Amino acid sequence: MPISCSAACTGGGANEDCLCSGSPSVTTVVCDFTNITSVPPVPSTVTAFSLAHNQVARLTELSFINRFFSVLTRLQRINLRRNEITSFGIGTFDFLTDLRTLDVSFNSISVISEDMFKKLTKLKALRLSNNAISSIAPGAFQNLTSLEELYLDSNNLLTLNGNWFKELTKLRV
């Protein structure tokens, strides 16, 4: 049963409108449609985190570290669709090594850098649809050896480079 994040499952200040579930420790936090502008701190036990339909504009290497400086290493699913994200800071996802699904569709991302996803070797689904992506660095996807689903539709890409996908042996077309 979902509960408010007010006291029972805060990682040090999660929004009152977030819903949390999991027992005995919190494993899911949903902060959809809460008008937040940054990633709220959540418990380090969280495996699924949704911040869809908000006003988050930028993510940094500190976005997924709670107030006790505990990295959210158990995170397996992050939903950031329909925010205002334009870019990611260097190392934003570096400590999320167990991440399996990342959804950043329907944002305003324009560039995918070479190092953006390099440490997400367990990632199976990456949703980048409906952004403003016009440039993808040559090695942007090379370490995503577990990737099965990659969504790039509805962006500003004029061409697709076959070398982007060379290392993605599990990718389904």
Residues 6+ apart with CB under 8 A from 98: 73, 74, 75, 76, 122
For the residues 14-37, what does the mean pLDDT come to? Answer: 85
- Residue range 2-20, pLDDT digits in tens: 434 443 354 444 456 889 9
Cα 118 to chain center, whole Å?
13
Residues 6+ apart with CB under 8 A from 159: none
Q: Answer yes or no: is pLDDT of 163 > 60.
A: yes
Token pair of 58 as six digits: 């930028």
Distances (CA, A) of 134 to 20, 56, 77: 36, 21, 26
Q: Answer yes or no: is pLDDT of 64 > 90.
A: no
Model pLDDT, residue 1: 37
Model pLDDT, residue 2: 41
| Residue 146, Ramachandran bin (φ over 0: left; ψ between -120 and 50: alpha; else beta) | alpha
Model pLDDT, residue 42: 84
Q: Answer yes or no: is pLDDT of 105 > 60.
A: yes
Kindly state which CATH superfamily the domain 1-173 is placed in.
Answer: Ribonuclease Inhibitor (3.80.10.10)
In this prediction, residue 41 has a pLDDT band, given cuts at 50, 70 and 90, of confident
Token pair of 89 as six digits: 């800071």
For the residues 115-138, what does the mean pLDDT come to? Answer: 96
For the residues 110-124, what does the mean pLDDT come to? Answer: 94
Model pLDDT, residue 4: 43
Token pair of 52 as six digits: 């869809």
Burial class (CB in 10 A: 0-12, 13-18, 19+), 37: exposed
As beta bridge partners, residue 150 has 126
Model pLDDT, residue 8: 30
- Give the alpha-carbon dihedral of 65, 70, 71, 73, to 10 degrees: -140
With CA atoms as reference, report the closest residue to 149 among 170, 131, 129.
170
Model pLDDT, residue 136: 95
Average pLDDT, the chain: 87
Model pLDDT, residue 167: 86
